[in-house]
Chains A and B, each alone.
Chain A
């Protein structure tokens, strides 16, 4: 018998309804944009148009902020916290009931594999609503001896890598703490946020408490610059984060920014190598590497370099790259043409630098945006591939000799979002984790997320925390 391949196992899309055109969700209604403009959102796996989506301009954003302000003043800040919790629970339940639909739409619009959207994105998004629903009427216990108040209107701008999950990360804590919301999803992935608007509508949430406005960077700028927005919550690139910080300087707006990263995964020579290799694979290739906390720098202690690289290559052979809707696909499509160009640009730099590269030998689909999983070996600390965030399935590999050296190198970056440590020795874990400057550090695992656990960065990876007790603080005034 020669070979045994997996037959196609496509997730059905028959139960999913995507409208031809989506309007803006403002004040509990679907309204046509004042801009009269629409943009197309496509499936990056085959470049087919999925829907047309309204492009909100300043007037539309103003309308949304006004609706949010009115809802805050008249309803949301007045009802009891337990009532707020009921709505959030209802949203969580509705989302859970429609989880298959959400997973499929997310995979269609973002190019991520159905395995991940089904097993990670959607369940985690539901959990964020469930978790925060629980907090709504217990906030005084979360911050004992402090007087807490909601902030008002939160302007929230989210990225394209985890569209629904990021919407949940933003909306759930804002609602639990008594704020109203104007949220803008990314232009390449607006559909699940719009589906979420449908659910929010079905939940009977008072009009104006959550408003979803779609559009490009100009729409986001209109939110950031709107005078009546009290808080900006942004997840996205460090570049845009800097622009936002400049824009709100001198205003009373509060902000939390969750930005880029170039997180270090460190393999010591005593590590359980096979599990470390698996963790590195998940750390960099999860969601095609479009993860702000992706373990995109790998540090291997010199004694085990050959073994680790041999095993990484071996493991990469069994990764399946292809149609995101196939249940057996491990790596789906790159989110957009723009992002693919950025990634390929970095691969060119690597070639020019003469870096040693390895790409897994896989067949890529003929249409759509794909990038094979890539290792770039023997890189110097000064290489741009080590310094800059690539946001794709590209792993920059460096070696080190001593613990002090790896701590120095791992911290020698403008970023500080996450890190991973692989060693069999407990004391070494504690030593490294206290010295690495990163918001999240995983030991002998990677990319573990939970609503109860705060997430956020140091330095150019942003400030403020999302999730857990710490995440609530960003949406409260404390006295």
Chain B
């Protein structure tokens, strides 16, 4: 057994097994927590501040990205005092535009890389992709792992690739996307989480948003457990980003409950927890306005981007 702070690379064939039925039961318990009044308001504001507002489309243009960056800093100016989102997440080609738009606001710029979303490119291309995004000013890199290699049992390949990308990131924080929808089993999710963290991930992230299912609570919980175990073993904190499928406030609050009870309050900041979502922000805003004014407002009162 290794001492705290010292990193020992385990044999990834022997990662802990996960019982799906047990995970489902535990997740159901989180969903039974009743979040009311003050804690609800605090949770909603926290959720807003943890969102990575995202556009990852072939048809993205600087115009679209600029609009999203404005929204990131001005979520709902009708209601002053709201936090900004945590970051905007774009393709490498849009990083420069985004960096210019959010300058000085505290909103970070994250870029997907490594031949996102499939990751089917040689390492040299992935490294270039990453370095380009970093050079353009990205604060965070969201890479994808090679799922094909993982499923074929080539864990060393996956590990080495993540380690190489981490090096290429320099000061940028690295989020490693496992694309859990393609890994299928929770055992695989756990194993991939362990590989990513040992290879240097600052964050582990569920999905690209291009594959379903994405961030189910079962998958997120399995990854949170992996983070907790990594922390218990090494003393190092790793962040978590569920992405895709979290579109309403209730689900966001349940996720926060899960983070609090699995990892603790230390993880409840956008330094350690993010939501990869675009439609979540407006639902949270609607809930906040409802709590403040007592009435639900129509979606037309909230800007779409």
Contacts and interface: CB of A to CB of B under 8 A. Distances in A.
| Chains A and B belong together in one complex | yes
A4 B264 CA distance: 9
Given A270-B17, A274-B225, A115 B32 contact: yes
B39 interface: yes
B21 A314 contact: no
Interface residues of B, number: 30
B265 A444 contact: no
B3 interface: no
A279 B22 contact: yes
Mostly, the A contact residues are loop
Interface string B6-22: 00000000001111011
A278 B25 contact: yes
Interface in B249-274: 256, 260-261, 265, 268-269
Contacts of B21: 275, 444-445
A360 to B, nearest CB: 13
B249 to A, nearest CB: 15
A272 B232 contact: no
B39 A4 contact: yes
B34 A4 contact: no
B207 to A, nearest CB: 22
Contacts of A3: 265, 268
Nearest to B42: A4
B22 A275 contact: yes
A328 B38 CA distance: 15
A6 B16 CA distance: 31
B212 interface: no
Contact of A4 (B22, B23, B260): B260
A314 B229 CA distance: 11
A363 interface: no
Q: Which of B19, B225, B265 is most buried by chain A, counting CB atoms within 10 A of its CB? A: B19
Contact of A2 (B36, B260, B265): B265
A470 to B, nearest CB: 25
Nearest to B45: A1
A314 B228 contact: yes
B64 interface: no
A4 B265 contact: yes
A328 B268 CA distance: 19
A271 B33 CA distance: 28
A346 to B, nearest CB: 28
A306 to B, nearest CB: 8
B33 A328 contact: yes
Contacts of B37: 7
Contacts of A7: 35-40
Contact of A275 (B26, B34, B39, B232): B26
B30 to A, nearest CB: 10
A184 B256 CA distance: 46
Interface string B210-254: 000000000000000100100010000000000000000000000
Contacts of A445: 21-22, 25
A467 B149 CA distance: 51
A61 B258 CA distance: 52
A373 to B, nearest CB: 15
Interface in A253-293: 270-276, 278-279
A444 B228 CA distance: 22
Interface string A1-28: 1111111110000000000000000000
B239 to A, nearest CB: 15
B13 to A, nearest CB: 13
Contacts of B33: 6, 327-328
Nearest to B256: A4
- Of B22, B39, B43, B256, most A-chain CB atoms within 10 Å: B22
A271 B22 CA distance: 12
Contact of B18 (A2, A272, A327): A272
Interface of A: 1-9, 115, 119, 270-276, 278-279, 310, 314, 318, 327-328, 424, 444-445
Given A1-B46, A327-B34, 9 more contacts: A4-B42, A4-B268, A6-B34, A6-B36, A7-B36, A8-B36, A272-B22, A275-B18, A314-B228
Closest 9 A-B residue pairs measured CB to CB? A275-B22, A9-B34, A272-B19, A327-B34, A275-B19, A318-B261, A7-B39, A3-B265, A272-B17
13 contacts: A5-B39, A6-B34, A7-B36, A7-B37, A7-B40, A115-B32, A272-B16, A272-B19, A274-B225, A275-B19, A275-B26, A310-B232, A318-B261
